[in-house]
Amino acid sequence: MDNMFDNRLFHCLLFTFICTAVAACTTLASSRAQEDTLFNVLVFSKTTGFRHSSIDEGITAIQELGTAHGFTVDASEDAALFTDDGLSPYTVIIFLNTTGDILDETQQGAMERFIQNGGGFVGIHSATDTEYDWAWYGQLVGSYFDGHPAIQEAQVNVVDNDHLATQGLPSPWTRTDEWYNFAPFPSSVNVLLTVDETSYSGGTMGDPHPIAWYHEFDNGRSFYTALGHTEASYSEPLFRQHLLGGILYAAGIDVSPVSYLPFIQK
């Protein structure tokens, strides 16, 4: 009987030890995962107008960038997330090919407070075809969409090659996309890329024709790129590199030009 009791006690203690060890390892792994996470991103792709077929590819690309470079990505089209509490986990909000009126006044207020509290914004392509009646948003994104010609090849010129979103890009950079015209002219921003209107047909802005820019706004950071209409864009290494730099800027990550390329190419 004593041996049987001792065996049961031994196995009970062994089981308790194993459970404790597993729990400790799980906690440690979770802690390390949290330490390795740089920041959290919300990709918002709600549309009430034209819907781009490249939205799914865009979400996948941003999720893969997050996995590779240490930030988490949530994707949603639920405007109900736009409350102070709903946005509090995030450092950056990305409007990925949004169109039309996508937030009500209460949700707009939460977005404004998010930026005013130091949050970051990234607008991709038709983010400028969004919320025309919300003046604050127009200032945040930098301008509004004002038409485009057919999808075609054009030459992109790098204006500022020291920014995170342009490091390592060729100039000229020849690629195929849908080339937006804008009104008003985005004069209150820092231009990163322009498109050469002599390299394609349908441009209406003259020289320069900005297509990517950034600026600090209302205590936050805003990055916009007009690139990203086509599904193929999101599998292009250079376009992904451009997007990653914009996301890092919006997040306030301090990555110097010297260290930037090794960071994004790992």
Q: Write out the chain's pLDDT in tens, 266 residues.
A: 454 445 554 444 443 433 343 343 333 333 333 456 789 999 999 999 999 999 999 999 999 999 999 999 999 999 999 999 999 999 999 999 999 999 999 999 999 999 999 999 999 999 999 999 999 999 999 999 999 999 999 999 999 999 999 999 999 999 999 999 999 999 999 999 999 999 999 999 999 999 999 999 999 999 999 999 999 999 999 999 999 999 999 999 865 444 444 444 54
Strand partners, 93: 42, 121
Question: Cα Rg for the chain, rounded, in angstroms?
Answer: 23
Tokens 């204006």, residue? 159
pLDDT of residue 261: 46
pLDDT of residue 5: 41
Can you count the helices (H) and strands (E) in the chain? 7, 9
pLDDT of residue 255: 55
pLDDT of residue 48: 97
pLDDT of residue 70: 94
Q: Kindly give, in sequence order, each residue whose CB lies less than 8 Å from that of residue 166, ignoring residues fewer than 6 positions away.
A: 158, 159, 160, 192, 193, 212, 242, 245
pLDDT of residue 37: 73
The pTM of the full predicted model, rounded to 2 decimals, is 0.85
What amino acid is encoded at 257 in this protein?
Answer: P
Provide the CB-side half-sphere exposure for 220 (13 A, CA). 26
pLDDT of residue 253: 86
What is the phi/psi pair of residue 120, to 5°?
-115, 150
The gap between the terminal CA atoms of the chain, to the nearest Å, is 62
Quote the CA–CA distance of 68 and 182 in Å, as a whole number: 33
Tokens 């409350």, residue? 83
CB neighbourhood size of 238 (10 A): 15
What is the sign, positive or negative, of the torsion defined by CA atoms of 17, 23, 27, 28? positive
Helix locations, 81-192, DSSP H: 84-87, 105-116, 135-141
pLDDT of residue 75: 98
Quote the CA–CA distance of 194 and 243 in Å, as a whole number: 16
pLDDT of residue 254: 67
